[in-house]
Homo-oligomer: A and B are copies of this chain.
Amino acid sequence: MNDLTIGNPDYTFLIAGPCAIESTEQLELILNSSHPPKIVRGGIFKMRTNKNSFQGLNEKGIDIIQELKRRHDFHFVTEVSDPRQIEKVSSITSMFQVGARSMYNYELLKELELHKKPVILKRAFSATIDEWLGAAEYLKGLGDQNIILCERGIRSFDHKLRNMLDLGSVIYLKKNAPYPVIVDPSHAMGNSQYVIQASLAAIAAGADGLIVEVHPNPEMAMSDGQQSLSLPLYSELVEKCSKLSLVLNKKLQV
């Protein structure tokens, strides 16, 4: 990861990609866009509240990433929710993502600690900050800079937006914890029309980076289409976040 800037206070880093890997074409369009992400996210094994929802391409998704890596230079991050998935995706990932539903899966965290790659640890739906930091302890062997806390919105009484983005947690953690902290504005807002504004607020709150959902054709997405940025909106995001980062004496690493 020597070419990455995670944990470097001079940079805001951006992770972008689709909710789920759907096809080679889908990712080609993102990687050929005006701002090809250096770190691409994409679900291969999807966790779904409804067991009949699309559960990801599984092995086929791995093949797609392997093939794309021959033609494009990018880092890949994907979610694992079971210890037995780690080995399967290990060859294609630069870091692992632990989703909100798995934050308390300590057996998974213990296993990830052994794999020596950075882990994005999303906050559970109603995890207290102490519980979140407690989960991070299970990854301690990775080194603080490789434990990336991700605020993705918590559960509240109001349902106008998908979740309630808790930027206070970002402000608190940057003053009191040794880890990089990033924000997932896509899951927090649940609707692409609010994602750019939430991204700006996250950066102003002091977040070290963002992880956003981008899809070349959001209306056709197999999951999370409503909250995925189209490529033009993704460009707008990059430009606005770059400009804002400069005022805060940072550079945006796309």
Contacts and interface: CB of A to CB of B under 8 A. Distances in A.
Interface of A: 47-51, 81-85, 101-102, 104-108, 124-131, 134-135, 137-138, 153-161, 163-169, 171-172, 174-175, 188-189, 193-194, 197-198, 200-206, 243-244, 247
A241 B244 CA distance: 13
Nearest to A199: B204
A160 B126 CA distance: 13
Nearest to A244: B247
A126 B168 contact: no
Copies of this chain present in the complex amount to 4
29 contacts: A51-B138, A81-B105, A83-B83, A83-B84, A84-B107, A102-B104, A105-B105, A128-B160, A154-B156, A155-B157, A156-B166, A157-B157, A159-B159, A161-B172, A164-B166, A165-B166, A167-B167, A168-B188, A171-B189, A171-B194, A175-B193, A197-B204, A200-B204, A200-B205, A201-B201, A201-B204, A201-B205, A204-B204, A244-B247
Contact of A244 (B154, B169, B204): B204
A129 B104 CA distance: 20
A120 B74 CA distance: 44
Contact of A247 (B102, B131, B163, B247): B247
Given A125-B125, A247-B243, A49 B134 contact: yes
Contacts of A105: 81-82, 101-102, 105
A198 B168 contact: yes
A52 B122 CA distance: 22
Nearest to A160: B129
Nearest to A157: B155
Contacts of A138: 51
Shortest 3 CB-CB distances between A and B: which pairs? A101-B104, A204-B204, A126-B126
Nearest to A161: B168
A164 to B, nearest CB: 6
